[in-house]
Structure 1
C-alpha cells in the first residue's frame, strides 16, 4: 500500500495524464464509461499495471477531492461483480481492484488494472455504447473512441503480447515457467526439459560441476540432510541464458533453486548479526522454484518443500523485505518472546563444521518467521 501511495503521489505531481494513468474528479455515473476506460487501460501499450485515480480535479490544478460520500462509489467486489456480467471474448476479463488512499482528511480511490498477457481484451457482445469485436487501447493520454477500433499495428502488438512475442528470451522463459504442463522431458530423461511449443527453450540440471558438498542450516529441516548441490542451466537454442545453483533435498525427493542470502545488523557493528535465506514472490528465482515443484510434484516432494519453506523467508515484494529488516532491528530485543515456541531439529556433529553456528542460523530463521507473521499483522 505504501509503495502504491508513493507512485500515485508521483503521478499526481506530474499534473498530466499518461499512457497508464487517468484522472477522474468523481466516480463514474455511467457503467458504460467505466467499462470502456477499464478495457482501454487493460490494453495499454506500455506493458504494465494501469491506474484510474478517482478524486483528482484536473480543472483545479489537480487538487484532491474527497470521494468518501460519492453515491456512485464502488469497491473491488462491486467492480468484479459488474465485470462478471460483461460478455468478454473468450470469457477472459481484466483483473481489477480498488485501493483507497488517505490524504489528511480526504480520500481518493484508485482503480488498479493489473498487467496481463491476455491482451487484447474485448467484448463478444455489445454493452450499451461499448461495441463487440472492437479493440480499444490507450495512446499517451487518449483512449480509443467507443465507435472506433485501434490502429492495426497496435492490435498486432497486443496479440503479440498474448503469444509472448514481444518479450526477450529471458522474459519469455519466465512466462513459460508459469506453465509447467507445457514442458516435456528431453531424450536424456527428466534432467533435461524443453518447452513443447517453443523447443528452443530448454532447462537442464545436473550435479554441481565443482563437486561442492558443503552444509547450510536449512538442510537439517529434512529427514535426509546430506547435501546434493545442483547446477540448473536455462538455454535459448545453444545460448546459455542463465545458470542458477540448486539443491536436491531429502535424498533427491525435492529440488529447488538455492534461496538468496541476506543479513541484518542489530548492533553498532557493520557486519551481519543475523543471516537469513529468502526468496521474493514473483521473482525469477521464485518462479523457477514453483516450476520445479509443480513439474516434479509428489507427496514426498510436498513434505520436503514444506519443511524447506518453514526455514526460509518468503517475501511478498522487495519493498516488504526492506521494511521487515527495519522492523527486525527495532524489535530484535523481543526475540525471547518467540524462543519458547520454536524447536530445533537434531543437528549431528560434522567434521570440520561448527554445529553451534548451524543451530544459531536455524533458530534465527524460525524467530524471523514468527516476527514476519507479526510484522504482517501490524501492517
Structure 2
C-alpha cells in the first residue's frame, strides 16, 4: 500500500497542478479551523475517490519537505475531529502517512471517500470565528467553497444524491444494494429490490449443460448444472453472468475466472492454471449475495469449493501471486 500511495502522490506532484481530489500545502495548517474547513471540503465531494492533502509541496508542485515545527500527527487530527460536533454524528475518516521524495519527507493527509455526505457542523465551537454551523462546504475542480459561504443549491443537491446512491450508474447501484440482502425478495427465479423494483436479478437454467470443471468434483455429490443470470434495470440487461449450481443444488455461485501462469511453447498452453475470484468484483459480490451462511449444507459445500479456488483482494494481488509462481517454479513443482 505504501508503494502504491507513493506512486500516486508522485504522479499528482508531477502534474504541477491541483485538482478535485488533491491539494498542495507548503506547510501544515497553523489553525485548526482552516484544517477542518479543508477536511470538510474534501469529504463533501461528489466523485468516488479518496482525497489527498499533500503537505510539503508548494502550489506550483515544488517539493520543499515538511517543516518539523507545527507538524501534525494523526492522533491529534483524530482528537480534533472527535471533539467537533458534526450533524448526524458522522465524523470524516482520515489518515496521515509520510513518504520520502527527493530525500525530503512529505506528509499525506488522506480523506477517505464517504457516502454519508454532506458533512457539516451541527454546533459551532467557540474557538471558530469563521466556520458556520449548518453550512455545507465542498470542492469543485481545484476550488474549495469559501469558509464564509455555503455551497450552491446544485452542489448540495448532488451531495444528497451521492448519499442515496443516485449519482452512480444503475449497475453500480444494483451491485451496492446486494450487500443488504433484506432489500431483496425472490419470486420464481427473479430477485426484486423492494425499494427499487426496477432493479432485478433474473435467473434461467441453461439446458445446454457444459462439461464440469475440476471444482465440481470437490463436492460430496458431483451433480451440477448451469444457470444464466441477468442483472436488469427495467427491461434493459446491464450485465450477464453464468452461474454454476454445485452439490445437487446446495451451493450456487458465479463461475470463477481462469488464471494462467508460465506460457508453454505450444500455442495456447500454460504450465499452471487456476480458478479465482477478485473480492472487488461483481462475481464475488454475487457469490456473497447468494450464499446463506446459516445453511449448514450450503456452508459445507462452499468450504469444499473454497479448498480448490483462489480469492484475491484485487488484480494487483493476483498479479503478484502469478509473479511469485513464475519465479519459484521449483517450489511449485
Normalized against structure 2, the TM-score is what? 0.89
Aligned equivalent of 1:318: 315
Kept in 2: contact 1:221–1:307 (CA 8 A): yes
Kept in 2: contact 1:17–1:141 (CA 8 A): yes
Cα 1:230/1:49, change in 2 over 3 Å: same
Kept in 2: contact 1:29–1:72 (CA 8 A): no
Deviations 1:48-79 (A, max 9, x none): 22111122123xx523233384553323x554
Unaligned runs of 5+ in 1: 337-379
Aligned equivalent of 1:245: 242
Kept in 2: contact 1:26–1:70 (CA 8 A): no
Aligned equivalent of 1:84: 82
Residue pairs, 1:132-211, within 5 angstroms: 132-186=133-187, 188=188, 191-211=189-209
Cα 1:209/1:165, change in 2 over 3 Å: farther
1:286 matched to 2:284? The reply is yes
Cα distance in 2 for partners of 1:35, 1:308 equals 49
Deviation, 1:303, is 3.3
Aligned equivalent of 2:62: 63
1:27 matched to 2:23? The reply is no
Deviation, 1:159, is 0.9
Deviations 1:323-370 (A, max 9, x none): 33222211222225xxxxxxxxxxxxxxxxxxxxxxxxxxxxxxxxxx
Cα 1:205/1:72, change in 2 over 3 Å: same
Deviation, 1:149, is 0.9
Kept in 2: contact 1:27–1:54 (CA 8 A): yes
Q: Give 2:121's match in structure 1, choosing from 120, 123, 126.
A: 123
Kept in 2: contact 1:67–1:73 (CA 8 A): no
Kept in 1: contact 2:224–2:249 (CA 8 A): no
Large movers: runs of 4+ above 6 Å:
none
Cα distance in 2 for partners of 1:195, 1:71 equals 51
Normalized against structure 1, the TM-score is what? 0.79
Deviation, 1:104, is 5.1
Kept in 1: contact 2:184–2:192 (CA 8 A): yes
Cα distance in 1 for partners of 2:315, 2:179 equals 20
Cα distance in 1 for partners of 2:284, 2:160 equals 27
Kept in 1: contact 2:46–2:162 (CA 8 A): no
Q: Considering fraction of residues, name the structure with more helix.
A: 1
Deviation, 1:304, is 2.9
Cα distance in 1 for partners of 2:264, 2:170 equals 44
Aligned equivalent of 1:94: 92
Residue pairs, 1:263-282, within 5 angstroms: 263-265=260-262, 271-282=269-280
Cα distance in 2 for partners of 1:134, 1:84 equals 19
Cα 1:23/1:230, change in 2 over 3 Å: same
Aligned equivalent of 1:359: none
Cα distance in 2 for partners of 1:80, 1:253 equals 47
Structure 1 vs Structure 2 CA RMSD: 2.4
Cα distance in 2 for partners of 1:157, 1:168 equals 14
The number of residues matched between the two structures is 328
Cα distance in 1 for partners of 2:284, 2:157 equals 31
Kept in 2: contact 1:42–1:115 (CA 8 A): yes
Deviation, 1:217, is 2.0
Cα 1:328/1:45, change in 2 over 3 Å: same
Cα 1:100/1:221, change in 2 over 3 Å: farther
Unaligned runs of 5+ in 2: none
